[in-house]
Amino acid sequence: MERWVKHTGANPQRLKLELTESLMALDIREISQKMANLREHGVGFSLDDFGTGYSSLSYLRHLPMDQLKIDRSFVHDVLSDTYNASIAKSIIVLAKNLNLSIIAEGVETTMQRDFLSHAGCLAYQGYLFSHPLPLYRFEQLAQHGLTDPIKSANSV
């Protein structure tokens, strides 16, 4: 990773590596040491699919995470399933209490976004904003911005 940063000239402080919970089944000390080394160079870390794999709150205590990502399985039925709604809200509160940022994955409707926003989540990923894009379309989007999430998502 260090060689890649030097080779590309990328700013490591703008880099956030996503770790999946399945990685946590490996040696936690070794992972923690590698993360600490990268963190010294400015790299951040996000725990992807939080709540679906080998979830353990002790991992949050021992690993230098910056962000949690609420798995789409909790977001999909957040408006109709009280358990998913409670889990999503609890993850948001947990992240805030640990000074971690939070992203909700799989946001497809404005109603889902609004629910999550009211719960305190301010960052989202999902088809509401865009479907997967080829590089040239992504570059256009990055250059001109996203003005109407629903229109843009439907036009891709």
In a domain, 152, yes or no: no
In a domain, 108, yes or no: yes
- pLDDT at residue number 56: 66
pLDDT above 50 (res 8): yes
Total of domains in the chain = 1
91: burial class by Cβ within 10 Å (0-12, 13-18, 19+)?
buried
- What pTM was estimated for this model as a whole? 0.81
Q: Which domain holds residue 112?
A: 11-144
Digit-coded pLDDT (tens) for 136-146: 988 888 888 76
In a domain, 84, yes or no: yes
- pLDDT at residue number 127: 94
In a domain, 124, yes or no: yes
CATH of the domain at 15: 3.20.20.450
- pLDDT at residue number 148: 57
